[in-house]
A and B are shown apart, each in its own frame.
Chain A
Amino acid sequence: MEFKFSEENLQKIASVQKNYPDKRSSIMPVLYIAQEQNGWISHEVMAEVAHLLEIPESEVYGVVTFYTMYHKKQVGKFHLQVCTNVSCMLRGGYDIWNKIKDKYNLEDGGVTQDGKLSLEEVECMGSCGSAPMIAINEDYFENLTPEKVIEIIDSLK
């Protein structure tokens, strides 16, 4: 599937490029804009970003694969990110992880058949004082129990 930036996003890119002394350095914000438009970073997206920034596609690929927040495959409408690092683990992070896996029949990196939910085990999100936590897309949900998590996920529309 061919990918082209929308007019609006091209303007956003032009604006963010003012923050950097050269075009190439703006790759990270440009990739975010691309991901917002396309939902994930496909090879077509990488090719378009490379074309836009006048750099080889391999360099774009290198950046995309280094950072975990660029989705290398399609994620669900609601991307569930469960922290299981030490502070969350001590307060039941794995109970939440296992509960979600069982209830929605998901594995790490999996997507439900209807494309609504996807699951990822993530490293410390900086919510140690309100552990355990999960993030859904860009929002944090803190001080959770397995029951509360299911309630939150089931209420997603």
Chain B
Amino acid sequence: MHRIVLPDIKNLQEIDVYLANEGYYGARLAFQKSPDDIIEIVKKSGLRGRGGAAFLTGLKWSFMPKVTNKPKYLCVNGDESEPGSFKDRQIFEFNPHQLIEGILITCYAIGAQTAYIYIRGEYHKWIKPVQKAIDEAYNNGFIGSRMKETFGTQFSCDIFIHKGAGAYICGEESSLMNSIEGQRAYPRVKPPFPAQNGLWGNPTTINNVETITNVPPIIKNGSEWFSSIGEPKHPGTLLFGVSGHVNKPGVYELPTGTLLTDIIEKYAGGVINAKRIKCIIPGGTSMPPLKGDSIEGLKMDAESLRAAGSAIGTGGIIVMDEDTDLVKVLARMTKFYYHESCGQCTPCREGTGWMLKILKRILDGKGTKSDLDLLISIANNIDGNTVCALGEAAAWPVKFTIARFRDEFENRVNESIQIPVNNKVHSMRKTKNPIDNIEIR
């Protein structure tokens, strides 16, 4: 089995060990080719983004303008705030040099002189090994002005870490750029796209940490080697983070197309106490949840999951056993999106709050059947009506959890609205729900 991003080599985070294992050889090879060749190799390899949208990486790079008098930038997205995702921190801790090498190659391909690694603020512990690796790479002449001597190339670039400060929205690429610029991290309206108008108005590419870390092995081994691993339409490996009710939660690097049931049973040690799975989220909480009895034979790659009515997201798998209270889970997820909504778009800012109120009501046993449709109606009004994808991220769990587990929700709500104060007029009409009786002609 191939492990591309987290090879099974001890102390690979040490620069000596990394160098002894063909470290920075990929960059050396890359600098002997033209930038266009590199983009072509990555395009051919079929590498797709690991941050959630699974967009073709080589294609994204090719959007960068070839001729421009503006400085170009690369942003590496290590915000990793999606609940259920904890993969990038493994790269920061165990393989930071491969990330740096990937950044060098990417910067060369797109012509960027500066790269920012955006790491979430909570990751104090994981910023340190990355900073240490960057310092070592500078000292060895792998980054910065000495690259010309080290690699015999005219190209050079700088790498800086930008530490976030606790805002989920910064994982969205345009918010991330606003955050690096030191603004409130509101998402930007697109177009213009970052490749034309990104950091400080300059051409910018944003890639996920895991995506970039895949680049050096692709350059070393060729695009055909990479595209032969896993599923042809979504090749390579993925870092699957398994959490929830499993015996051995953790991050497992496996080829795309690995069966979800295999990941749970063979790698994550199966469900605790061998219980049945009620619900499973395949790619972080923003992705539609699946019913536990619908995952037999389901492959973990972008296309298979789309066909199954969900999405690969960040590969963060959350397993919930048969005793899980899904109303509570959905309320907790919605609380998250309510807390993290940046407040820029009304549907998301207000809608997440309304959904939370209603879910809390259902959780307290005071919900009614009409609340379920109301929730879906609010979710539909958020979905597609916001500047960024956090709108969908908040709406999808509500829509799909209720649609797929309607029974469970219906069991928790009352048939009719309970009016706390006895209303004489309505009680005379002898209806449970006074609104039903109002006719407008």
Binding site for B on A (CB under 8 A): 19-22, 24-29, 31-32, 62-63, 66-70, 84-87, 89-91, 122-131, 135, 138-140
When chains A and B are docked, how far (Å) is the Cα of A127 from the Cα of B324?
Answer: 20
Known: A24-B182, A90-B318. A129 touches B120 (CB 8 A): no
Question: Which residues of B are found within 8 Å of A129, using beta-carbon distances?
Answer: 86, 241-243, 249-251
- Residues of A contacting B243 in the complex (Cβ-Cβ under 8 angstroms): 87, 90, 128-129, 131
Q: Which residue of B123, B182, B336 contacts A85 across the interface (Cβ within 8 Å)? A: B336
Chain B residues near A84 (CB, 8 Å)?
Answer: 332
Are B318's CB and A87's CB within 8 A?
yes
Residue of A whose beta carbon sits closest to that of B170: A67
- B329: chain A residues at CB < 8 Å are 86, 89-90
Contact with A along B145-169 (1 / 0, CB 8 A): 0000000000000001011111110
Smallest beta-carbon distance A40→chain B, Å: 13
Inter-chain contacts of A130 with B (CB < 8 A): 249-250
Give 8 A-B contacts (CB < 8 Å), ordered by A residue: A20-B182, A29-B163, A86-B244, A86-B285, A86-B318, A90-B244, A123-B340, A128-B86
**In the complex, what distance in Å separates the CA atom of A135 from the CA atom of B124?**
11
Considering only residues 182-205 of chain B, those with a C-beta below 8 Å from chain A are: 182-185, 200
A63 and B183 form a contact (CB under 8 A): yes
Tell me the complex Cα distance, A24–B181, Å.
Answer: 8
Knowing A63-B183, A138-B124 are in contact, say whether A32-B163 is a contact too (CB < 8 A): yes
Q: Which residues of chain B are within 8 angstroms of A86 by Cβ–Cβ distance?
A: 83-84, 244, 281, 285, 318, 329, 332-333, 336
Which of A25, A89, A91, A126 has most chain B Cβ within 10 Å? A126
Question: Nearest Cβ in chain B — how far from A132, in angstroms?
Answer: 11
Q: Decide: A138 near B333, CB < 8 A? Known: A66-B167, A67-B165, A128-B83.
A: no
A30 smallest CB distance to B (angstroms): 9
Considering only CB atoms, which chain B residue lies closest to A87 in the complex?
Answer: B243
Residue of A nearest to B250 (CB): A129
Contacts of A123 in B (CB 8 A): 81, 83, 168, 336, 339-340
A39 vs chain B, min Cβ distance (A): 16
Distance A85 CA – B333 CA, assembled complex (angstroms): 7
Taking CB atoms, residues of chain A closer than 8 Å to B123 are: 126
| B122→A126 contact, CB < 8 A | yes
Docked pose: A139 CA to B123 CA in angstroms: 9
Contact of B242 with A69 in the complex, beta carbons under 8 Å: no
Cβ-based interface call for B210 (8 A) = no
In the assembled complex, B80 has its CB within 8 A of some CB on chain A = yes
B275 contacts chain A at the CB level, 8 A cutoff: no
- B43 → A minimal CB distance (Å): 31
How far apart are the CA atoms of A31 and B164 in the complex, in Å? 11
Known A123-B168, A128-B243: A69·B122 in contact at CB below 8 Å: yes
